[in-house]
C-alpha cells in the first residue's frame, strides 16, 4: 500500500511531494501528461510564496539569494506605491512557471519521489482506512491502494470529480485575453523606465496593467523576450477559440485597446514562445477541501482570475500547509483533528483571493462608471493605510491562523529573523521540521518530550519575541516576549506543542 498518491505533477503536486519527502514520507505522483508542459501558465511568483521558497532553499535554485520587496506593484490596473507600506510585505520572483516546475521536479527526484508520467487517474473508491484508485497508464490499466489521495490536478480535477466534491462558482464569458511573445521597434521602448512609448498614452510602464476605456494592455519585457498581452470584452465577430492566435489578431486587439497601430514582430530566440488566447474565466471554490481520505490542493480546490498573480502563491502554500499535517497523520503522532485544520485554515485564504481578484476585475472593466470608481480608488491608494491593507491582502501577509494566545505573532508568518551567529531563520527551516527558537535559553526542558518532532534552536536575535514555536509551513504556533518566561508562558508553550505536534514522549 502506498502512503500517499498525488494526482498531478504541476508545481503544487511537486511541492507537496517535496514537503512529504522532507517529512519522511515517500509519495507516488501520477501525471496524465507524458511530458512536462512546455506552455507557460504563469510568468512569476508574487507574495509570501517567494519567502516560502527561500525557507526551503529553493529560491537560490531559481534566482540566487532573495532580494528586497518590490517598491511598486499593481492592483486593478492601478499603481500600488509600496514605499507607503511599512513593512512592505510584497516580494516578486520573475521566473516562468515551467522553470519553477523543472526546479521542483529536480528537487523531488533528489528526495527520492517517484513520478509516473502518462498515468491518468480514472476511478476511486475509499473506505475508513484507504483509497483505491484506478489508473490508465502506457501499459494499460492498473489499480493502487493508498492511505491518502491528494488531487493536485488542476481546475478540471479528475480527483475532485471522482470524489463527488462540488465546485460552485461563476463563469464569465465576456472577456478575451490574448498573449504572445513579440518584438517591438527599439524606438518605441523607453530606455529609462523600460516601458513602451505609445502615442496618445505616453510611456506605458513595464509589467503593469494599463487600462483604457476599451480594454487592458500589458507590456512585459522579460529577459527571454517581450510579452504582449491584451484583454477585451468580447464581441461575436472575433475569432473563435478553435482558431490559433496570430500576431495579426494580437495587433488588431492592441489597436482597439490603445487606438494605435502597434508594430509587432515575431519573437526572437529559440523559445518556447507563447501564443495564446483565453476566452472568459472561472471563479470557483470547492465545496470542501477534504472528503475522507481524499484532499485537494491548488487549482483543484480553487480557480480565480490570474490578475495580480495570486495563483501559485495560494497553491504552493496549500501544499506547505497540508504536507506536514499529512505526514504527522501517517507517522502516527498527529493530534486529533489536525488534518481537518488544513481546510479550516486554507479555505478562508482562498475565499479572500477570490474576493480581491473579482474586485480587481471590476476595476478594469470598461465604461465611464468604472472610470469614476477608479478615480475615487486612486485617492484611496494615496493613503498609507489603504496601501498597507491591500499589500498585505495580495501578498498573503494578512493571514492569521487560529492563535492560541494573544501574542501578536501567534498565528502569523514567522518574521525573517537573523540569529547573532549570522544564520537566518530561512536557513533553519530547510528541513521542514517544527522549530522552537529559544532566545531565553530556558525552555529546553519544556520541549524535551517533543524532541523527536521539534528542533530546539538557541541563541540571540532582535525582534518582537524572545521565543517562537514555528510550524513547518512557516507560521507561528506560540510566542512570548518575556525575558524570563514564567509558568503561564511555559504552560501555553506545552499546550501549543500538544495542539500541533501531539502528545509528548515519556522522557
**507 close to 449: Cβ distance less than 8 angstroms:** yes
Check whether the bond before 286 is cis (ω within 30° of 0).
no
Cell 531565553 locates to 440
d(CA 121, CA 141): 10
Q: How far apart are CA 198 and CA 259, in angstroms?
A: 10
Nearest-angstrom CA–CA distance, 476 and 54 = 17
Q: Which three cell numbers stand for residue 363?
A: 476595476
* Region of 362 on the Ramachandran plot (φ > 0 left; ψ -120 to 50 alpha; else beta): alpha
Could you tell me what percentage of the chain is helix, strand and coil, using 3-state DSSP and rounding each to the nearest 5?
30, 25, 40
Give ∠ CA 126-130-135 in degrees, rounded to 5: 70
Q: What parts of the chain have a pLDDT lower than 50?
A: 237, 239
pLDDT at residue 225, rounded to an integer: 84
DSSP 373-432: HHHHHHHHTTSHHHHHHHHHHHHTTT-----SSS-TTTTSBPP--B-TTS-BHHHHSTT-
User: Which residues does residue 125 pair with via DSSP β-bridges, in sequence order?
Assistant: 132
**Dihedral angle over CA of 17, 19, 24, 30, nearest 10:** -10
Q: Does a cis peptide bond (omega within 30 degrees of 0) precede residue 272?
A: yes
pLDDT at 306: 84
**DSSP secondary structure code for residue 300 in this structure:** G
- The confidence score (pLDDT) of residue 310 equals 87
Cα–Cα distance measured from residue 315 to residue 322, given in angstroms and rounded to the nearest whole number: 11
**What pLDDT shows up at residue 222?**
85
Q: What confidence tens digit (pLDDT) does each residue in 32-44 have?
A: 999 987 766 677 8
Cell numbers given for 200: 496618445
Rounded distance between C-alpha atoms, residue 100 and residue 219, angstroms:
22
- Backbone CA torsion sign across 231, 235, 239, 240: positive
What pTM, to 2 d.p., does this model score? 0.93
pLDDT at position 240: 55
DSSP-derived 3-state class of residue 8: coil
Task: Using CB atoms within 10 Å of the CB of residue 161, give its burial: 0 to 12 exposed, 13 to 18 middle, 19+ buried.
Answer: middle
Calpha distance 32→453 (Å, rounded): 35
Which helix (H) or strand (E) element contains residue 492?
A: helix 487-501
pLDDT at position 83 is: 97
CA distance 437 to 465: 10
CA 504 to CA 507: how far, in whole Å? 8
Q: For the chain, how far is it from start to end, CA to CA, in angstroms?
A: 33
Neighbours of 401 (CB within 10 A): 21
Q: How many CB atoms lie within 10 A of CB 454?
A: 21
Identify the pLDDT of residue 173.
Answer: 75
Residues 6+ apart with CB under 8 A from 6: 13, 16, 17, 27, 28, 29, 30, 149, 150, 152
- Region of residue 87 (phi > 0: left; psi between -120 and 50: alpha; otherwise: beta): beta
467-470: strand order across its sheet: 455-458, 435-438, 467-470, 476-480
Which tens digit of pLDDT belongs to each residue from 4-17? 999 999 999 999 99
Burial call 259-282: b when 16+ CB within 10 Å, e when fewer:
eeebebeebeeeeebbbebebebb
Per the structure block, which three cell numbers stand in for 239?
A: 475569432
Residues in contact with 187: Cβ distance below 8 Å, sequence separation at least 6, in sequence order: 197
Amino acid at each position: 500500500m502506498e502512503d500517499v498518491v498525488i494526482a498531478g505533477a504541476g508545481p503544487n503536486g511537486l511541492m507537496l511531494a517535496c514537503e512529504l519527502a522532507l517529512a519522511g514520507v515517500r509519495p507516488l505522483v501520477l501525471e496524465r501528461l507524458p511530458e512536462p508542459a512546455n506552455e507557460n501558465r504563469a510568468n512569476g511568483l508574487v507574495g509570501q510564496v517567494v519567502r516560502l521558497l527561500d525557507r526551503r532553499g529553493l529560491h537560490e535554485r531559481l534566482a540566487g539569494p532573495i532580494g528586497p520587496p518590490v517598491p511598486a506593484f499593481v492592483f486593478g490596473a492601478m499603481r500600488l506605491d509600496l514605499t507607503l507600506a511599512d513593512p512592505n510585505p510584497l516580494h516578486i520572483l520573475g521566473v516562468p512557471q515551467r522553470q519553477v516546475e523543472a526546479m521542483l521536479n529536480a528537487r523531488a527526484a533528489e528526495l527520492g519521489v517517484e513520478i509516473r508520467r502518462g498515468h491518468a487517474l480514472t476511478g476511486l473508491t475509499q473506505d475508513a482506512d484507504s483509497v483505491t484508485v484506478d489508473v490508465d497508464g502506457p501499459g494499460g490499466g492498473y489499480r493502487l491502494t493508498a492511505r491518502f489521495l491528494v488531487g493536485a490536478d488542476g481546475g478540471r480535477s479528475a480527483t475532485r470529480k471522482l470524489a463527488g466534491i462540488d465546485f460552485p462558482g461563476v463563469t464569465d464569458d465576456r472577456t478575451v485575453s490574448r498573449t504572445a511573445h513579440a518584438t517591438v521597434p527599439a524606438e518605441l521602448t523607453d530606455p529609462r523606465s523600460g516601458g513602451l512609448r505609445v502615442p496618445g498614452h505616453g510611456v506605458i510602464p513595464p509589467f503593469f496593467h494599463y487600462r483604457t476605456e476599451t480594454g487592458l494592455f500589458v507590456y512585459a519585457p522579460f529577459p527571454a523576450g517581450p510579452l504582449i498581452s491584451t484583454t477585451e470584452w468580447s464581441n461575436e465577430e472575433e475569432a473563435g477559440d478553435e482558431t490559433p492566435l496570430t500576431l495579426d489578431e494580437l495587433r488588431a486587439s492592441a489597436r482597439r485597446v490603445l487606438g494605435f497601430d502597434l508594430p509587432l514582430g515575431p519573437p526572437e530566440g529559440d523559445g518556447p514562445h507563447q501564443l495564446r488566447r483565453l476566452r472568459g474565466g472561472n471563479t470557483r471554490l470547492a465545496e470542501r477541501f477534504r472528503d475522507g481520505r481524499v484532499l485537494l490542493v491548488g487549482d483543484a480546490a480553487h480557480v480565480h482570475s490570474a490578475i495580480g498573480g495570486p495563483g501559485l502563491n495560494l497553491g504552493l502554500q496549500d501544499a506547505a500547509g497540508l504536507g506536514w499535517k499529512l505526514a504527522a497523520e501517517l507517522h502516527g503522532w498527529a493530534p486529533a483533528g489536525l488534518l481537518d485544520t488544513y481546510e479550516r485554515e486554507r479555505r478562508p485564504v482562498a475565499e479572500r483571493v477570490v474576493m480581491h481578484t473579482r474586485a480587481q476585475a471590476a476595476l478594469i472593466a470598461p465604461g465611464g462608471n468604472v472610470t469614476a470608481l477608479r478615480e475615487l480608488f486612486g485617492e484611496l491608494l494615496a493613503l498609507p493605510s489603504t496601501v498597507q491593507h491591500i499589500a498585505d491582502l495580495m501578498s498573503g501577509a494578512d493571514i492569521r491562523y487560529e492563535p492560541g494566545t494573544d501574542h501578536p505573532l501567534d498565528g502569523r508568518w514567522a518574521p525573517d529573523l537573523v540569529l547573532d551567529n549570522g544564520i537566518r531563520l530561512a536557513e533553519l527551516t530547510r528541513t521542514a521540521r517544527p522549530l522552537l527558537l529559544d532566545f531565553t535559553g530556558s525552555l529546553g526542558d519544556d520541549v524535551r518530550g517533543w524532541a523527536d518532532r521539534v528542533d530546539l534552536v538557541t541563541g540571540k536575535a532582535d525582534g518582537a519575541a524572545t521565543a517562537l514555536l514555528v510550524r513547518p509551513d512557516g507560521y507561528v504556533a506560540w510566542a512570548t516576549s518575556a525575558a524570563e518566561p514564567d509558568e503561564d508562558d511555559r504552560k501555553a508553550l506545552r499546550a501549543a506543542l500538544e495542539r500541533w505536534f501531539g502528545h509528548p514522549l515519556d522522557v
